[in-house]
């Protein structure tokens, strides 16, 4: 690969590689519409509440509307415009339209203006400081995406607890990396399963990245290949394929999928007091709940954690005169 090729790939995903904040290390999150905006605002607030030293940068696409920009600006949340990424060969995600947006979550690999980027989904909630993610040892950009520690992430849960019929047949508990940790629950709080465990697929909700032109070029090449037609879970399928066995598995506590807590899924390793970052995968999201929903028996208890912090955010914003409904 030549420097020109790498520059071309970077330019397609990051046309203006300039920092929007002074910090060389940042959290980022993707936003394409206002459906997830309340989630983003509460994520930002929760990071600050937990005492993070690093800013959250909102990566927005062209579809993000003016009222969304106004909401970010009112709260002083830095933002950066990025192109909407799609592979050359389209995959039909009719059953899960959210996966069309997920390709753009590969953008952090191209943000070469930063030393470290930790990409977070907007439907996450930080419960404890996790700044240590900014210092996890990873390959330097000079490794050109060929080293053993290209990025860090926690595993995808492949149990399919909701028994979605369109999910792959091998998405069963026996093939889940988290299942392999059931016998050592205390170890699971501090160590992730090896990246080769289970089906060897990272969850794309949290990615710890040292941006690299060469690593992004490998991603860009994959996006241009026919392989994407077989990637059932867009970005995370691609990462698991391109960097197979060359990423670092980190503990579930940094990307604690709410379903892991469910009885019979991975409650064997889940510890409420150890979780640092909850990921509210699947619908409905906490902010979609009504007051009646909040009274329902059997409601996911973790949703209340989001509401407790969201209510604090709204109270503080009201004192500042911010009353935009988000």
Q: Work out whether the CA dihedral 47, 48, 53, 57 comes out positive or negative.
A: positive
Q: At what angle do helices 37-49 and 66-74 cross, to 10 degrees?
A: 10
Return the structure tokens found at 1.
Answer: 């690969």
Which residues contact residue 289 at a Cβ distance below 8 angstroms, ignoring those fewer than 6 apart?
Answer: 299, 303, 307
- Domain membership of residue 323 (yes or no) is no
Return the structure tokens found at 207.
Answer: 């990615």
- Domain membership of residue 114 (yes or no) is yes
DSSP codes of every residue in 273-285: TT--EEE--SSSP
- Whether the CB-CB separation of 110 and 9 falls below 8 Å is answered with yes
- Domain membership of residue 206 (yes or no) is yes
Nearest alpha-carbon partner for 90 in 228, 233, 232: 228
- Domain membership of residue 56 (yes or no) is yes
- Whether the CB-CB separation of 132 and 208 falls below 8 Å is answered with no
Polymer length in residues for the chain: 326
Give, for 73, the enclosing helix (H) or strand (E).
helix 66-74
What is the per-residue pLDDT for 95? 67
CATH of the domain at 155: 3.90.550.10
- Domain membership of residue 108 (yes or no) is yes
Which residues contact residue 16 at a Cβ distance below 8 angstroms, ignoring those fewer than 6 apart?
Answer: 81
Q: Structural domain of residue 299, as residue ranges? A: 3-316
Number of domains the chain contains: 1
Query: How far apart (Å, rounded) are the C-alpha atoms in residues 208 and 27?
Result: 9
Tell me what percent of the residues of the chain surpass a pLDDT of 70: 95
For 201-236, write each residue's pLDDT tens digit: 999 999 999 999 999 999 999 999 999 998 989 999
263: β partners: none
- Domain membership of residue 321 (yes or no) is no
Burial 181-191 (b: 16+ CB within 10 A, else e): beeeeeebbee
Provide the whole-model pTM. Answer: 0.95
What is the per-residue pLDDT for 9? 78
Residue 2 banded pLDDT, cuts 50, 70, 90: very low
- Domain membership of residue 176 (yes or no) is yes
- Domain membership of residue 174 (yes or no) is yes
For 42-66, write each residue's pLDDT tens digit: 999 999 999 999 999 999 999 999 9
């Amino acid at each position: 690969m030549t420097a020109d090729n790498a520059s071309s790939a970077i330019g397609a995903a990051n046309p203006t590689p300039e920092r929007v904040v002074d910090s060389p290390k940042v959290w980022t999150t993707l936003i394409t519409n206002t459906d997830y905006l309340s989630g983003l605002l509460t994520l930002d607030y929760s990071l600050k509440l937990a005492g993070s030293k690093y800013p959250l940068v909102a990566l927005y696409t062209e579809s993000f509307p003016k009222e969304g920009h106004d909401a970010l600006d009112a709260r002083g949340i830095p933002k950066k415009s990025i192109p909407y990424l799609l592979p050359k060969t389209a995959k039909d995600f009719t059953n899960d339209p959210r996966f069309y947006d997920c390709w753009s979550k590969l953008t952090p690999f191209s943000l070469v203006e930063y030393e470290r980027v930790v990409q977070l989904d907007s439907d996450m909630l930080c419960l404890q400081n996790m700044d240590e993610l900014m210092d996890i040892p990873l390959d330097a950009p000079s490794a050109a995406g060929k080293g053993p520690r290209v990025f860090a992430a926690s595993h995808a849960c492949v149990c399919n607890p909701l028994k979605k019929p369109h999910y792959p047949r091998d998405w069963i508990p026996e093939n889940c990396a988290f299942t392999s940790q059931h016998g050592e629950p205390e170890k699971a709080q501090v160590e992730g399963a090896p990246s080769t465990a289970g089906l060897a697929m990272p969850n794309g909700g949290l990615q710890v990245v040292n941006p690299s032109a060469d690593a992004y070029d490998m991603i860009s090449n994959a996006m241009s290949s026919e392989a994407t037609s077989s990637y059932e879970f867009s970005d995370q399928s691609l990462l698991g394929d391109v960097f197979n066995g060359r990423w670092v598995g980190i503990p579930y506590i940094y990307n604690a999928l709410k379903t892991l807590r469910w009885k019979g899924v991975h409650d064997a390793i889940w510890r409420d007091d150890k979780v640092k970052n909850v990921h509210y995968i699947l619908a409905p999201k906490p902010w979609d709940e009504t007051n009646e929903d909040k009274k329902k028996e059997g409601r996911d208890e973790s949703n209340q954690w989001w509401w407790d912090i969201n209510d604090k955010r709204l109270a503080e914003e009201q004192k500042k005169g911010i009353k935009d409904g988000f």
